[in-house]
């Protein structure tokens, strides 16, 4: 199950490391420092920072990344929400009462 926090994920820096999903972000930070040469060869997916792929494979990964759909849907939702706000925005501003009489 993709959402199971106890599932094991293979570390991109050391293939012998298998980390629980709930600890994976912390492990990535630690392992990046331990394997700087490997880190130079990997690129981070723009849709999910947990996806580290070889730089040469990044464009292919971006086209196939499952998380891209979530980002795209979020953008669509934000845009439609903004458009609804624009359509529903009715000015409730009223001029304050004026005590001055310019005629006198």
Number of folded domains that form the chain: 1
Tell me which residue range forms the domain holding 12: 8-78
**Domain contains 48:** yes
**44: confidence class by pLDDT, cuts 50, 70, 90:** very high
**Would 100 be classed as within a structural domain?**
no
Eight-class DSSP state of 22:
G
Residue 19 lies in a domain: yes
pLDDT higher than threshold 70 for residue 68: yes
Asked if 32 contacts 50 with a C-beta cutoff of 8 angstroms, the reply is no
Q: Does a structural domain hold residue 43?
A: yes
pLDDT in tens, 9-29: 999 999 999 999 999 999 999
Residue 96's Cβ-side half-sphere holds a number of Cα atoms within 13 Å equal to: 3
Which band of pLDDT confidence, cut at 50, 70 and 90, is reported for residue 35? very high
């Amino acid at each position: 199950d993709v959402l199971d926090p106890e599932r094991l994920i293979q570390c991109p820096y050391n293939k012998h490391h298998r980390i629980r999903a709930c600890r994976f972000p912390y492990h990535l930070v630690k392992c990046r420092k331990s394997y700087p040469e490997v880190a130079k060869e990997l690129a981070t997916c723009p849709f999910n920072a947990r996806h580290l792929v070889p730089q040469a494979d990044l464009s292919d990964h971006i086209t196939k990344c499952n998380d891209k759909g979530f980002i795209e849907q979020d953008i669509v939702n934000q845009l439609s929400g903004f458009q609804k706000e624009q359509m529903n925005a009715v000015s409730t501003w009223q001029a304050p009462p004026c005590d001055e009489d310019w005629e006198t």
